[in-house]
Amino acid sequence: MPHAIRVHQTGGPEVLKWEEIEVGKPGPGQVRLRQEAAGLNFIDVYHRTGLYPQPLPFTPGVEGAGVVVAVGDGVKGLKEDDRVAYGGPIGGYAEDRLIDADRLVKLPDTISSEQAAAMMLQGMTAQMLLRSVHRVQAGETILVQAAAGGVGLILCQWAKELGATVIGTVGSDEKAELARAHGCDYPIVYTRQDFVAEVARITDGNKVPVVYDGVGKDTFMKSLDCLARRGMMVSYGNASGPVEPFPTTILAQKGSLFLTRPTLYDYAITRAELETSANELFDIVASGKVKVEIKQRFALKDAAEAHRALEARKTSGSTVLTI
């Protein structure tokens, strides 16, 4: 029988249990996927703790890649042995899983299952942020919070390729070097430097038209102070905790700012949106302009260890759970 990580009650990493599972046959519109690798994402922590509630029990994980081993009724465009990947549908920490076929994309030969598991969610998120939420223009200077993280490293490289100057915050000197090597022109070690003052200094007081902030609670208010008039605050995650409620008059006081809180689920809903996002990601990775750095690997059964490392800010780049 295949195994999966199951969560029966929300809590710390210890609630991630390695268990045998019954997978069964795919229903209409579904396929059974034999996974070759799964991705680790910060949203897995939110699901595990209950910040983003899920019906219990559940299998966490929103990113994976592998081979189709059975096809349900009515599935078009996929057959047994196809190599596929996804970023989104929960249930990824599993050796085998059922999944809706219309959420899968076929993998080009140039991209391995491990690479796909490392980049589908984070890469499509970067595509959403840079190409839809705020279309980065050549010549813009942008601020990326947690620039050495999974989404962060992809954002830095892709934004650089679009012709932007990238300022990024990071938690250590080591992460600063990593971000610099991936397109971040000005890494700021925000655990010891005041990033608001640094952004003002780097931009000669002009500040930036957009901030991409996946850190949340600890950086949100200061991120607003980095924005030029009518700038766009893109709050896309809560690694340090959810942003606290605040009066919207603050957006007026700080320069008629825009605020958005996007999720990939709302930007890759239709099949056409999903394919555009995945294809743009595959193209830029195939071109070598964005490199997906797998900096950590953990066996899937050791997912709890992976969560501890992620929450302790000990990871950088992408993390793969090996199967």
Ligand X SMILES: NC(=O)c1ccc[n+]([C@@H]2O[C@H](COP(=O)([O-])OP(=O)(O)OC[C@H]3O[C@@H](n4cnc5c(N)ncnc54)[C@H](OP(=O)(O)O)[C@@H]3O)[C@@H](O)[C@H]2O)c1
> What is the binding site for ligand X (CB under 6 A)?
41-43, 121-122, 125, 146, 148-152, 170-171, 175, 214-215, 218, 236-240, 262-264, 310-311, 313, 315
Token couple for 313: 């800010």
Q: Considering beta carbons, is residue 26 or 317 the nearer one to ligand X?
A: 317
Q: With beta carbons less than 8 A apart as the criterion, state whether 116 and 37 touch.
A: yes
Taking the C-alpha atoms of residue 31 and residue 12, their distance in angstroms, rounded to an integer, is 32
For the bound state, the minimum distance from the C-beta of residue 295 to ligand X, rounded and expressed in Å, comes to 9
For the bound state, the minimum distance from the C-beta of residue 215 to ligand X, rounded and expressed in Å, comes to 4
* Cα-Cα-Cα-Cα dihedral sign, residues 147, 149, 150, 153: positive
For the bound state, the minimum distance from the C-beta of residue 79 to ligand X, rounded and expressed in Å, comes to 30
Other C-beta atoms closer than 10 Å to the C-beta of 230 total: 10
Q: Considering beta carbons, is residue 53 or 74 the nearer one to ligand X?
A: 53
Q: Considering beta carbons, is residue 229 or 314 the nearer one to ligand X?
A: 314
For the bound state, the minimum distance from the C-beta of residue 19 to ligand X, rounded and expressed in Å, comes to 24
For the bound state, the minimum distance from the C-beta of residue 1 to ligand X, rounded and expressed in Å, comes to 30
* Nearest residue to 210 via CA among 246, 272, 173, 262: 262
Taking the C-alpha atoms of residue 68 and residue 78, their distance in angstroms, rounded to an integer, is 8
Q: Considering beta carbons, is residue 164 or 234 the nearer one to ligand X?
A: 234
CA distances to 11, 141, 258, 260 from 211, rounded to whole Å, are 31, 10, 11, 11
Q: Considering beta carbons, is residue 43 or 94 the nearer one to ligand X?
A: 43
